[in-house]
Amino acid sequence: MTKTGAQILWECLERERVSHVFGYPGGAILPAYDALKHSKIHHVLVRHEQGATHMADGYARAGGEVGVAVATSGPGATNMVTGIATAMLDSSPIVCITGQVGSKLIGSDAFQETDITGVTLPITKHNYLVTHASELARTIREAFYVARSGRPGPVLVDITKDAQQTSCEFDWEAAKPQLPGYRPDLSPDAKEYEQALELIQKAKRPVILAGHGIIVSGAMQDVRTFAERTGIPVALTLLGIGAFPASHPLNLGMMGMHGEAWVNHTIQEADLLLAFGMRFDDRVTGNLKTYAPNARKIHVEIDPAEINKNVKVDVALVGDLREVLHELLPHVNTVDRSEWLDFIDQLKGDAAVRDIQNLPDNGHLYAAHVINDLWRETRDADTIVVTDVGQHQMWEAQYYKHDRARSLITSGGLGTMGFALPAAIGAKVARPEAEVWAIVGDGGFQMTMAELATVVQENLKVNIAIINNGFLGMVRQWQEFFYERNYAATPLLNPDFVKLGEAYGIRSVAVTQRSEVVPAVQAARRHDGPVLINFKVEQEDTVYPMVAAGASLHEMIRRPSPIVETAADE
Amino acid sequence: MMNTFVVYVENKPGVLTRVASLFRRRAFNIDSLTVGRTEKPEVSRMTITADADRDQARRIEANLYKLVNVLLVENITNQPAIVRDLAMIKVAATHEARSHVLELASVFRARVVDVAPDSLTIEITGAEDKIDGLLEVLRPYGVLEMVRTGIVAMRRGSKSPNMAATASNFAQVVADDDVSYSV
Ligand SMILES: Cc1cc2nc3c(=O)[nH]c(=O)nc-3n(C[C@H](O)[C@H](O)[C@H](O)COP(=O)(O)OP(=O)(O)OC[C@H]3O[C@@H](n4cnc5c(N)ncnc54)[C@H](O)[C@@H]3O)c2cc1C
Ligand SMILES: Cc1ncc(C[n+]2csc(CCOP(=O)(O)OP(=O)(O)O)c2C)c(N)n1
Ligand SMILES: [Mg+2]
């Protein structure tokens, strides 16, 4: 059957199970937009193309399906760069479709011509320039296959205007991916399994390092079975949060820069690390020279290029985590680990029983309390929390206890401010039945707050909690620790967020007292429409503990007092 | 240590950029890179030399495999292989020097490809050290211009690469048992 490139595009997206795309039109992509009327796909008009990419990303992370963002050539395409890089570093499967000037004009500096495949080459898993309608079907199929298979990642497809306009024969079946060099399906050999099992058998002080790969692989249950059968405790990376239930007795919590001290000490004392789908990011390891000096290391990882990149490992099991665990599980057995677990309990000390809810606030509104209260209110619901980047992100990781995979969505690797609001929109679109909360700093919120209009336009019940500390808080914290409190360019002049929300027709309230937190959260949950809460929290509050960049994992800057955090620490 | 990789890639636009960009982005240092056609029209072949220790060399290989258009990577550093570089050297050769230069060229089995009143252009193919050697002895006469292609390499023996069964051998050093030596 003969179709235009534009029609083929939408039909291929439908066949790839796409129900929603996030986009913004312009000249070079207009033929595609014109053909949208024939498609069942719902197009979400965003307010900035960066927003479209984060929405696609949030959609992918919440629902596990590939997210799609659409933009025009030139500025539309370059506005996507930040979102693409964000998805790349966190292995999130998105496909970005961009219009390109006519194929005859390429290279002529035509109006709105940008070499976007050149620009995005190092920040995509793969990208394509399509100059003929006849290449479109296979390219789209390949793009989705590459984005979602193996180690997922962003794929960009740049389509010239003429490729959208001209017609050709469309045959989905014939347009099978042709990727002779692409092999996402590696698996370890028997000898490597034996070596791993031997290390596991011998270990006295083992720890599982649970990462994002568990969620990508869908191996939550297998990891749990593995941990329970072997009695090995589990520490999580930021992106691994939710891969193993926070409420599980073997859960230690988040490791790394802002992980609890006992988690990092446990890792430093371990004799075996089992890295499951995590990539030893520098925020996880601290100084590599002193990292887990006594531990043998087993790395279960789908991407061979991650092996021995940061941390030299003893055994690498290269393959899909779930499959690898299926091989290992029948051969591991129950071991009494009480000595090791008691040791860890001692490291925890009274911190283990410390419950920040009951710690005094002395009349202050602490972000940690806000987040912990929010968790108490929403813990039993099917809640997805999407955080931005900064102090509030770390408090969320510490004080919101996630029991389910995909219930925390955050930009870890790139640390992209402005991520939360659009990603929350994407998450809500992917999982309409879920309760979605964006927890966002007053700085990052202002980077993409234009998407409030998208929330209203799409009639999405997204709750927005602004943790408003009047500062670029995390940077202020670094200035506090490392730059003699020279708060250069970190105090923020903010608009009245309540009025701002109301201007968009969003119910908005401000909260200044601890006692108002729970009622405000409850009211927001009851309201059937988006709600914005401006939590005016303590301004000079600090995230503890902290491993300074480059310091050893066990050299943490500890909380100055058992009290939550302190403006009073000066 | 200098490593030699033979990289088979899909013969498509932009693949060279992807490979070069990878080395730049990962801060691996390319010493030389050549690319050309192969017996299969849809496959191009690159020979890349890069300074890397054993671990880095493995990571280079693994990262090359991450490029969707890369079909096969062979690290032939420690394998019997034919390695050739081609150089053209323009040497100042006035009347009295001319015969000396010609003599040196013939000792190195190089060919004179252009003769001008006060210069000779010599073409030489061989392993890199052979070319280095010729350059060394020509230098006193005055090297006016020089160009080298960078090396191309091929494993010895009748074994040809099996592009179907690859990627997983990223970490393995291929053991080649049926090697034949030639001069
Ligand atoms: C302000 C700030 C502070 C931070 N502080 C911390 C901190 O204290 N602690 C912390 O942990 N992080 C912290 N981070 C996040 C950190 O930068 C990294 O993003 C995070 O540690 C990465 O976690 P990961 O390795 O689990 O996930 P990813 O980076 O997503 O890596 C996942 C790995 O799993 C592999 N994988 C994917 N699919 C599979 C599969 N099917 N089978 C096997 N393997 C697979 C991938 O190849 C990849 O190597 C912070 C970030 C910010 C912005
Ligand atoms: C796009 C972008 N620019 C700059 C930074 C550097 N940065 C990291 S955290 C941070 C401060 C964030 O402030 P805010 O959004 O108010 O959150 P808070 O730390 O106060 O909770 C900044 C500027 C970044 N991560 N992303
Ligand atoms: Mg702030």
Q: Is residue A341 part of a domain?
A: yes
- Which of A502, A506, A495, A512 has the alpha carbon at shortest distance from A445? A495
A293 interfaces chain B, CB cutoff of 8 Å:
no
A240 contacts A210 by C-beta, under 8 angstroms: yes
Q: Is residue A398 part of a domain?
A: yes
Question: Which atom of ligand 1 is nearest the CA belonging to A259?
Answer: 8
Q: Is residue A559 part of a domain?
A: no
Q: Which of A241, A284, A406 to mutate to test the pocket of ligand 1 (most atoms within 8 A of CB)?
A: A284
Per-residue pLDDT of chain A (570 residues; tens, 9 = 90+): 899 999 999 999 999 999 999 999 999 999 999 999 999 999 999 999 999 999 999 999 999 999 999 999 999 999 999 999 999 999 999 999 999 999 999 999 999 999 999 999 999 999 999 999 999 999 999 999 999 999 999 999 999 999 999 999 999 999 999 999 998 999 999 999 999 999 999 999 999 999 999 999 999 999 999 999 999 999 999 999 999 999 999 999 999 999 999 999 999 999 999 999 999 999 999 999 999 999 999 999 999 999 999 999 999 999 999 999 999 999 999 889 999 999 999 998 876 556 787 778 888 999 999 999 999 999 999 999 999 999 999 999 999 999 999 999 999 999 999 999 999 999 999 999 999 999 999 999 999 999 999 999 999 999 999 999 999 999 999 999 999 999 999 999 999 999 999 999 999 999 999 999 999 999 999 999 999 999 999 999 999 999 998 899 999 998 876 544 443 333
Question: Which structural domain, as residue segments, surrounds residue A75?
Answer: 2-168
Residues β-bridged to residue A445: none
Q: DSSP class of residue A458?
A: T
Whether A366 and A344 share a structural domain: no
Q: DSSP class of residue B109?
A: T
What is the torsion angle, in degrees rounded to the nearest 10, for the CA atoms of residue A235, residue A241, residue A244 and residue A246?
80
> How far does the centroid of ligand 3 lie from the alpha carbon of residue A434, in Å?
27
Whether A326 and A362 share a structural domain: no
Three-class secondary structure assignment of A319-364: CCHHHHHHHHHHHCCCCCCHHHHHHHHHHHHHHHCCCHHHCCCCCC
Nearest CA to ligand 2 atom 2: A417
A451 contacts A47 by C-beta, under 8 angstroms: yes
Q: Which of A239, A255, A306 to mutate to test the pocket of ligand 1 (most atoms within 8 A of CB)?
A: A239
Q: Is the CB of A237 under 6 A from ligand 1?
A: yes
Distance from first CA to last CA of chain A, Å, rounded?
Answer: 73
B161 contacts B8 by C-beta, under 8 angstroms: yes
- Quote the tokens at residue A301: 């990882």
ipTM for this prediction: 0.90
Q: Is the CB of A239 under 6 A from ligand 1?
A: yes
Q: Which of A81, A389, A410 to mutate to test the pocket of ligand 2 (most atoms within 8 A of CB)?
A: A389
> How far does the centroid of ligand 3 lie from the alpha carbon of residue A268, in Å?
32
What residues contact B15, with CB distance under 8 A and at least 6 apart? B9, B44, B67, B69
Which residues from chain A sit within 8 angstroms of residue B171, using beta carbons?
304, 307, 316
Is B171's CB within 8 Å of A146's CB?
no
Q: Is residue A547 part of a domain?
A: no
Q: How far is it, in rounded angstroms, from Cα A438 to Cα A454?
A: 14
Chain Cα centroid distance, residue B181: 19
Which residues from chain B sit within 8 angstroms of residue A305, using beta carbons?
59, 62-63, 65-66
Considering its fold, how many domains does chain A have in total? 3
Q: How far is it, in rounded angstroms, from Cα A126 to Cα A153?
A: 8
Confidence bin at B165 (pLDDT 50/70/90):
very low
Cβ contacts below 8 Å, chain A against chain B, sum to 57
- Which of A110, A106, A142 has the alpha carbon at shortest distance from A127? A142
Interior CA angle at B39 toward B34 and B41, to 5°?
85
- Scanning A111-179, the segments in alpha helix (DSSP H) are 116-120, 136-148, 161-165
Å between B75 CA and nearest CA of chain A: 15
Buried b (16+ CB within 10 A) or exposed e, A376-394: ebbeeeebbbbbbbbbbbb
Q: Is the CB of A470 under 6 A from ligand 2?
A: no
Helix (H, G, I), strand (E, B) or coil at A299: strand
- Cis, bond preceding A422 (omega within 30 deg of 0): no
Helix (H, G, I), strand (E, B) or coil at A69: strand
Q: Is residue A178 part of a domain?
A: no
A318 contacts A186 by C-beta, under 8 angstroms: yes
Last residue of a domain, one of A298, A319, A350: A350
Å between B126 CA and nearest CA of chain A: 32
Whether A335 and A368 share a structural domain: no
Residues belonging to chain B with any Cβ–Cβ distance to chain A shorter than 8 Å:
9-10, 13-14, 17-18, 21, 25, 55, 58-59, 62-63, 65-72, 163, 166-168, 170-171
Domains, chain B: 2-80+159-171 (3.30.70.260), 82-152 (3.30.70.1150)
Å between A499 CA and nearest CA of chain B: 45
Handedness of CA A502, A504, A507, A509 (dihedral sign): negative
Which one of B55, B66, B68 has the shortest CB-CB distance to A179?
A: B68
Long-range contacts made by residues B159-167, C-beta under 8 angstroms, separation at least 24? Answer: B161/B6, B161/B8, B161/B72, B161/B74, B163/A180, B163/B8, B163/B43, B163/B71, B163/B72, B166/A183, B166/B71, B166/B72, B166/B73, B167/A181, B167/A183, B167/A186, B167/B65
The CATH number of the domain holding residue A279 is 3.40.50.1220
Q: How far is it, in rounded angstroms, from Cα A413 to Cα A282?
A: 10
Whether A224 and A161 share a structural domain: no
